[in-house]
Amino acid sequence: MKKIQVYHVDAFTDQIFGGNAAGVVPEAMGLNEHDMQKIARELNLSETAFLFPSNDENYDYVVRYFTPSSEVDFCGHATIGLSWVMAMAYGWLEKAPQIRLKTNIGVVPVEWSMQQNKLNSVVMTQVAPKTKQFEVDKEEICRVVGINPRDIDDKYPIRLAYTGNWHLLIPVKDSKAIDASVPILEELKDLNLKWNITTTHLFSFNSFDERYKIYTRDFAPAVGIAEDPVTGAANGALAGYLVLENILDSKTDHEFTIAQGHATGRPGEVAIKIIAGKANPTIKVGGKAVISIHGTINL
């Protein structure tokens, strides 16, 4: 019998049972795809991250991410969670100022943000952002997502955006309209699969709280997740969209906080930093985390 160490980590929060829970398997050596998929299904969290040691000096670990139903190329909240585990439980806080992760989309470095000599948050640099047109009938997309067409904020375009996965971004006038959304999940799943979209992300600049610049919700039935409480990948893609679509000044750095998870009873905060660049902006996504469970799986 092989005993596999496993952690549950609540990411993008400093409160247990808040934010978004991720599974983390820090020592995945010897596990194959079948094993990883079964472990992810058993943990039944939106994503579980599996770490493999690296012999390459350019990165410290190889990471793979699985939902209960499939592998995904990248997951933001699981990256926050695994980095917190490696810093706090595996000594990386003393080893180096960052940890470098080789994912299916490239190398993602994660830095430690310290406060009074203690780990305050972890900050990942996502891959270069991209956007592209998405031709869809507004009435139809509103029907599938479950919002009133009058609640679409026409000041901003509906787009596909990417910092590792493609996300459908839908601007909404206010947070109340976002919270009222009741998507038709089977039809949304079909739509996302057709366009190779990982999640559908609703966002509004009219948040319920002035501390937050943006409020969001995220639906991911195409990868087996009805609603993802707090999403690092989708909010990173949203940050890239804001600059690439000239909603925010591309020549200026930006820092702000996104609120998500309140509709699911798991409130979280995503810290966004956009660094202006000549070719592409650099998108940094940060957050706190809490280790809620540590145990073993008897494989």
Where in the sequence numbering do the catalytic residues fall?
47
Comparing C-alpha atoms, which of 220, 214, 229 is closest to residue 271?
Answer: 214
Measured CA distances, 268 to 101, 215, 231, 262 (Å): 24, 10, 9, 7
Pairing of strands 282-287, 268-275: antiparallel
Q: Which amino acid is at 109?
A: P
Quick check: 16 and 296 in contact, CB under 8 A? Answer: no
- Measured CA to CA, the distance from residue 251 to residue 272 in angstroms comes to 16
- Measured CA to CA, the distance from residue 71 to residue 259 in angstroms comes to 26
- Residue pointed to by tokens 């600049």: 205
Which residues 6+ apart lie within 8 Å of 57 measured at CB?
A: none
- Residue pointed to by tokens 């990411």: 11
If one counts every other C-beta atom within 10 angstroms of the C-beta of residue 59, the result is 18
Radius of gyration for the alpha carbons in the chain, expressed in angstroms and rounded: 18
- Measured CA to CA, the distance from residue 125 to residue 23 in angstroms comes to 21
